[in-house]
Amino acid sequence: MALVKYNDRSIRNLTTAPAAVTNNPGALVHIKTLTASSSSTLSFVDGSDSVVLDNTYPIYKFEFINIHPETDQKKFMFQGTTDGSNFNTAMTTTWFQAYHDEADGNTTLSYISGEDQAQGTAFQSLCEDLGNDADQNYCGELQIFNPSSTTFVKHFMAKGNETYFSNYSNNAYVSGYFNTTSAITGLQFKMESGNIDAGQIKLYGIKDA
């Protein structure tokens, strides 16, 4: 059987990446990472400090890594802006959770009506009653779809897991939409009260076909 010989210069001499590499739909493109250090807010606003949140990508994804609050038993929250400075866009949301305590004495799967909004302009919770013990934190992700649209409302979906202040694993799912046909140009994240002691938020664009 004849052996096929490969020329190792075929890769080294490339000056343009193949379309299969550059046009990879669904690929994550890192845009910005913000690191909390006793931060009152963390904001991602289009055009500010190298942030892109426009029609470059159809979907944007935020990843939350080891979000730790300074104050015990507080919610981690977000809101959107259409003008780059006022984070008070009307939204309608849903909120449900599953939890299980470390003592194996309490489990549930339930809708939490106190955490949703109906045309509300307040900051939306992503988790509730996050603990501030040294090892407690929140991790999760949020996706927003076509935020630059001036035709449709802006849907978002979030999921995450927190260490509840009383030592529960609490898995929350939050979805909804910004009820505006103006472009959403930024998102801001903060604790219900007190600062974000530590943690990172990473913003990615998800490439289209």
Q: How do the pLDDT tens digits run along the chain, 209 residues long?
A: 555 554 545 444 545 444 544 567 789 999 999 999 999 999 999 999 999 999 999 999 999 999 999 999 999 999 999 999 999 999 999 999 999 999 999 999 999 999 999 999 999 999 999 999 999 999 999 999 999 999 999 999 999 999 999 999 999 999 999 999 999 999 999 999 999 999 999 999 999 86
Closest CA to 127 of 161, 88, 84: 161
* pLDDT at res. 17: 47
What Å distances lie between residue 83 and 43, 105, 107, 144, 148, CA to CA?
13, 47, 42, 17, 12
User: What's the confidence (pLDDT) of residue 195?
Assistant: 98
Q: Are 150 and 166 in contact (CB under 8 A)?
A: no
The reported pLDDT for the residue numbered 1 is 53
Show the tokens assigned to 173: 């799912």
The pLDDT, as a whole number, for residue 26 is 85
Q: Quick one: CA torsion of 115, 204, 56, 125, rounded to 10 degrees?
A: 10
**How far, in Å, CA of 143 to CA of 194, rounded?**
25
Listing DSSP states for 50-81 in one string gives: T---STT-SEEEEEEEEEEESSSSEEEEEEEE
Contacts of 87 (CB under 8 A, 6+ apart): 43, 79, 80, 81, 123, 186, 187, 188
Task: State the Cα–Cα distance between residues 66 and 142, nearest whole angstrom.
Answer: 15
- Residue type for position 204: Y
DSSP state for residue 196 in the 8-state scheme: E
Return the pLDDT at 7. 52
Query: The pTM is what?
Result: 0.88
Q: What is the pLDDT of residue 22?
A: 53
pLDDT at res. 134: 97
3-state secondary structure at position 71: coil
